[in-house]
Amino acid sequence: MPHLRGSLTERRPTRRIQVGDVPVGGGAPVTVQSMTTTKTADVEGTLSQIYALAAAGADLVRCTCNEEEAAEGLARIVPRSPVPIIADIHFHVEMALAALEAGVQGLRLNPGNLRKPHEIKLVAAEAKDRGVPIRIGVNAGSLHPDLYKKYGGATPEALVESARMELAYFAEVDFDDVKISVKASSVPLMIESYRLASETFDYPLHLGVTEAGPPPAGLLKGTAGIATLLAEGIGDTIRYSLTADPVEEARAGRQLLEALGLRERKGLDLIACPSCGRSEIDVIAVAQAAQDALEDRNLPIQVAVMGCVVNGPGEAREADLGIAAGRKRGHLFIKGKIVRVVPEDEMVEALVAEAERLVAEGVEARLAAADAGAEAEAEADRRELLDAKGSDANASESKVDLIRKRFGDVAAPAD
């Protein structure tokens, strides 16, 4: 599937860096990141979570490096990881240096926490020698006190100046293999900070609303900030920060990029009507059953669940595959064309089976395998439901006549 731009603003040009074998910036596909919640010293537990994150759509994974045991864990994790590993560093320069020794493919430094210039320059020099990029991870909640004082709080200008100060230290050791984030838990502050950063720097930007909280509110806040900026052409890599299983972060990031047309579809995209009085089934229950049955199969298709056969196949004609309910039966359709009619209690099972065949064989082959008479049978169901529930639609012409008569009566001259 091509990268569809639609009405999105063209992405703003940035430098390209390389995090292991994953390019970031410079026109590379926008990448998804998440962070493990395990103790990094727990090698097997951390690797298990990394593999789950990669399966959910994470291109890069960050692990904390806050103690010697964590650094030792990284040395064992990095060679076995399916994706590049970034070490998260806060207060201790020793941890950054140990993470580099462990072989990580990236570092994240918080300039509000690691403040001594000679330590910052030491890490940058060591990272340069190893070809390891660094994210300058500015956070509104942990700015240097001098910046709070200068700007009267956490403002976009304060966040961007924090990144600029860090870049100046890097420049002293000729290090510019950098990406930048200017995160805040306030969505408006986050958006304005990244807009200013985009105008100020040409380094790739890592987008995120920090401390967004648990779903669904956390998902809404993260999407409000990240999607707004991506639609403006700002951002090269993203991370949802949720109080939840990090797999939810990776899945949400991937789904957002697919929804915006910024990444090719990798997994299921299930759409469903919101239900109405015409529905012949419990759309919510059927859609959830279909989601549960299909999601783990990682089928890169769009599937529709529609509550009625009157409008369903037509409204969802762009879906790869769908099913619509009517008269205790399900109309299975591919690209809007009816291919099979099945009993209502077999709808989800039939949908799953057809989805797997569709991915394996392709659209044309599955259309050619359509049941003879399926379209005629479906049309008969549709007509019967129109007669039973769509009398208003069928009587539209008589209503038009009544409207014309009313206007004619108004226009008629008085006796």
pLDDT band at 267 (very low <50, low <70, confident <90, very high): confident
* Encoded tokens for 109: 């430094």
Query: Span 37-43, mean pLDDT?
Result: 97
> Do residue 291 and residue 236 come from a single domain?
no
Asked whether residue 413 is assigned to any structural domain, the reply reads no
Contacts of 48 (CB under 8 A, 6+ apart): none
Q: Is 62 helix (H, G, I), strand (E, B) or coil?
A: strand
Phi, psi dihedrals of residue 220, rounded to the nearest 5°: -65, -45
- Tokens 């709080």 correspond to 153
Q: Shortest CA distance to 14 belongs to which of 2, 4, 28? A: 28
Q: Shortest CA distance to 117 belongs to which of 155, 171, 176? A: 171
Q: For position 285, what pLDDT does the model report?
A: 86
227 within 8 A of 35, measured Cβ to Cβ: no
Range scoring the smallest mean pLDDT among 19-28, 108-117, 149-158, 183-192: 108-117
> Do residue 231 and residue 301 come from a single domain?
no
What is the number of domains present in the chain? Answer: 2
Q: For position 394, what pLDDT does the model report?
A: 46
Could you list the beta-strand ranges (E) of 310-381. 321-326, 329-334, 337-343
**pLDDT > 70 fraction of the chain, expressed in percent and rounded:** 91
Query: Is the pLDDT reported for residue 326 higher than 90?
Result: no
Q: For position 282, what pLDDT does the model report?
A: 78
> Do residue 104 and residue 196 come from a single domain?
yes
> Do residue 199 and residue 324 come from a single domain?
no
> Do residue 90 and residue 239 come from a single domain?
yes
CATH number at residue 305: 3.30.413.10
Residue bearing the bigger pLDDT, 248 or 264: 248
Q: Is the C-alpha dihedral spanning 373, 374, 377, 379 positive or negative? A: negative
> Do residue 110 and residue 205 come from a single domain?
yes
> Do residue 292 and residue 249 come from a single domain?
no
Asked whether residue 3 is assigned to any structural domain, the reply reads no
Domain coverage including residue 94:
16-259
> Do residue 148 and residue 291 come from a single domain?
no
Q: For the sheet with 269-272, list strands across it.
A: 269-272, 302-306, 321-326, 329-334, 337-343
> pLDDT tens digits, residue range 353-388?
999 999 999 999 999 999 998 888 888 877 877 766
> Do residue 278 and residue 336 come from a single domain?
yes
> Do residue 209 and residue 72 come from a single domain?
yes
Range scoring the smallest mean pLDDT among 280-289, 314-323, 394-403: 394-403
> Do residue 285 and residue 354 come from a single domain?
yes
Q: For position 27, what pLDDT does the model report?
A: 95
Asked whether residue 176 is assigned to any structural domain, the reply reads yes
> Do residue 212 and residue 291 come from a single domain?
no
> pLDDT tens digits, residue range 344-362?
889 899 999 999 999 999 9
pTM higher than 0.85 for the full model? no
CATH number at residue 41: 3.20.20.20
Asked whether residue 412 is assigned to any structural domain, the reply reads no
Last residue of a domain, one of 226, 259, 292: 259
- Rounded to whole angstroms, how far apart are CA atoms 208 and 59? 15
Last residue of a domain, one of 213, 236, 259: 259
